[in-house]
Structure 1
Amino acid sequence: MVSPPITGPIAPFSAVPVGGGVIVAKLGVVVTQPVEGEVVAFRTLCPHRGCQVKAVAAGTINCFCHGSRFRISDGAVVGGPATQPLTPVRVTVVDGVVVDASG
């Protein structure tokens, strides 16, 4: 499944907690801040069965459908049945706003 391109702002950087993240469901993106000042993003589609990840807690991005968990720093699988990481989204911060940096 090909995800649609992201256009416009994704989220205010100030809304992304250090060591956590926010899910922007309408764009299908989860934005994380693994360490202060670093922004990382992934598509919310879980590679296991195509459910949407629904929460970020305790350093992981979590899919409640079957229990897969992914590391906030790189989207790697840390638990559950998924065997593939989350799909990364290139982002940057411009004037305090997280935006797509893929093109």
Structure 2
Amino acid sequence: MTTDGIGRRHAIAGVAGLGVAAPLLASCGDDGASTGTDDSGSGAAAGTVLGATSEVPVGGGTIFDDEKVVVTQPTEGDFKAFTAVCTHQGCVVDKVEEGQIMCPCHGSVFSAEDGSVVNGPATEPLAETAITVEGDEITLA
């Protein structure tokens, strides 16, 4: 044991702890600011073309996995978009059926009309993502 206030075992334990904690802390703080993404967690930049309106069925929706965006069409010609990242624990939703967006991880269900929680465990709605529809093209705004 040293007399300068820190023992060798404490120093080694501290360095080992940093090796575990640093990657964990780094993964917790990403808000998308460094990647040019929006604040909804969608992971895609404004101007990104998602797809054609014909890809989004009336009463249903389409998940654009690369952009982490789900686009729905609750009624004909009315397109909505939300982050595809579940608010419960960050899983990506995997299907849209009968007006509902479903998460495969823990069973959360969201409204395809407004992103609100229909069934938990999620307690927060899916964040709305701004889109523009021009002609038959859907683009992130």
For 2:89 and 2:107, how far apart are their aligned partners in 1?
A: 11
After the TM superposition, which parts of structure 1 deviate over 6 Å for at least 4 consecutive aligned residues? Answer: none
> Offset at 1:18?
0.4
Q: What TM-score comes out, normalization by structure 2 length?
A: 0.68
Residue equivalent to 2:118: 78
SS at match of 1:26: helix
Cα root mean square deviation, aligned: 1.2
Which amino acid in structure 2 is aligned with residue 62 of structure 1? Answer: M
The count of residues paired between Structure 1 and Structure 2 equals 101
Among 63, 66, 75, which residue is 1:35 paired with?
75
Q: Which structure ranks higher in relative contact order (CA pairs < 8 Å, sequence separation ≥ 6)? A: 1
For 2:51 and 2:108, how far apart are their aligned partners in 1?
A: 25
SS at match of 2:75: coil
> Offset at 1:80?
2.1
Identity of aligned pairs, percent? Answer: 45
Q: For structure 2, which runs of at least 5 residues remain unmatched after alignment?
A: 1-30, 33-40
Q: What TM-score comes out, normalization by structure 1 length?
A: 0.92
In proportion to residue count, which structure has more strand? 1
Q: For structure 1, which runs of at least 5 residues remain unmatched after alignment?
A: none
> Offset at 1:11?
1.3
Residue equivalent to 1:21: 61
